[in-house]
Amino acid sequence: MARVQVSEAEKVYILHGIRDDLRVDGRGCEDYRHMEIETDVVSNTDGSAKVTLGHTAVLVGVKAEIGKPRPTVPTEGYLEFFVDCSANATPEFEGRGGEELGTELSNTLYKVFNNKRSIDLKSLCICAGEHCWVLYVDVLLLQCDGNLYDAISVAIKAALFNTKIPKVHISSDDEGGKEIELSDDPYDCMRLNVENVPCIVTLCKVGHRHVVDATLQEKACSVASLIISVTHKGTITCMRKVGGGSLDPESIFEMTEAGKRVGKALHAPLMKLLEQEESLGKKRQKVYTCFPGLPLVSPQPPREESGAK
């Protein structure tokens, strides 16, 4: 992660501010920075979203491909995650610098999102044991200014909401072979139910209190943080501690309670915004333009309308 240097006196200032519930930018301990969300930004994906949170900016693309279901769960599709840490975000990511962070992020995202309680994975099944939809979720970090997890999770939820998977028609010929036909009509598509998709809330322990949506400076003052994924009902689905420091059980309890509260409040405005954007349709003024040359989607052969056996 991008590092910033903070002097001892600045640390003391930040710590005392958080103790008094007034952070450097005037927010309280449980306030988010203002967030801008735009969906359908990359034309060559099935669903995409760009989220900016303060100066943190992430772009998420979802691409649906036909693949083979995992042998252990033949009736379910699955999600794959890849996080690309662009060197545009910070020079530290140059070369292989961002690889470690990328793997860490994608592993966490896999844990949080790829289960049947978050997304109805059964709806991704085309033909049990043989074909299913695989959703490749590609995340591109454009700018880092703290709180990557939360921004990414909101972007993923928005992108999944935006995802349109073409309807398929299965026909079997005389020899018992099956043929999959994709619908040509762009409006004849399947939408995912994102109701239960969780959002991630990161709580940073700074001094004796904890804050949500920490900036890089605040992050530099914290010893440990707790990553909690919360659904719209306030159910915690996943929890992870990151950072070198330790947390005592009492503060973990406090932090999970705060995480539940904040996470629950995150879903309603997000869904409202997404529906509002959807209702605007083509009238919406597009702000973020994505260039086709951008290496956002991992190179894969184009989808064909081929009859697989």
Partner 1 sequence: MAADMRLPTIRKTVSLSASAFDRKDLVVPGDVITSDTGFMRGHGTYVDDDKLTASVAGEVQRVDKLICVRPLKTRFNGEVGDVVVGRITEVQQKRWKVETNSRLDSVLLLSSVNLPGGELRRRSAEDELTMREYLQEGDLISAEVQSVFMDGALSLHTRSLKYGKLGQGVLVQLSPSLIKRQKTHFHNLPCGASIILGNNGFVWLYPTPGQQEEEAGGFYTSLEPVSLSDREVISRLRNCLLALAAHKVLLYDTSVLYCYESSLQHQVKDILKPEVMEEIVMLTHQKLLEQEG
Binding residues for partner 1, rule: CB under 8 A, are: 5-10, 12-13, 16-17, 20, 22-28, 30-38, 52, 261-262, 265-266, 269-270, 273, 276-277, 284-285, 287-288
Q: Which amino acid is at 29?
A: C
Q: How far is the CB of 158 from partner 1 (least distance, A)?
A: 10
How many residues in total does the chain contain? 309
**CB nearer partner 1, residue 215 or residue 237:** 215
**CB nearer partner 1, residue 76 or residue 145:** 145
Residue 96 makes CB contacts below 8 A (sequence gap 6+) with: none
Q: How far is the CB of 281 from partner 1 (least distance, A)?
A: 13
**CB nearer partner 1, residue 103 or residue 143:** 143
Q: How far is the CB of 25 from partner 1 (least distance, A)?
A: 6
Contact 107/153 with Cβ under 8 angstroms?
Answer: no
Q: How far is the CB of 208 from partner 1 (least distance, A)?
A: 14
**CB nearer partner 1, residue 85 or residue 155:** 155
- CA diameter of the chain: 79
Q: How far is the CB of 51 from partner 1 (least distance, A)?
A: 9
Question: Shortest CA distance to 201 belongs to which of 236, 176, 233?
Answer: 236
Contact 67/134 with Cβ under 8 angstroms?
Answer: yes
**CB nearer partner 1, residue 74 or residue 207:** 207
- With tokens 């409006």, the residue in question is 187
Q: How far is the CB of 170 from partner 1 (least distance, A)?
A: 39
Q: How far is the CB of 282 from partner 1 (least distance, A)?
A: 14
d(CA 226, CA 161): 26
Q: How far is the CB of 135 from partner 1 (least distance, A)?
A: 24
**In the beta sheet, which residues pair with residue 85?**
141
Is residue 77 helix, strand or coil? coil
For residue 110, report the phi and psi dihedrals to the nearest 5 degrees: -60, -45
Contact 33/54 with Cβ under 8 angstroms?
Answer: yes
d(CA 240, CA 228): 7
Neighbouring CB atoms inside 10 A of 1's CB total 18
d(CA 195, CA 271): 9
**CB nearer partner 1, residue 8 or residue 174:** 8
**CB nearer partner 1, residue 138 or residue 277:** 277
**CB nearer partner 1, residue 190 or residue 220:** 220
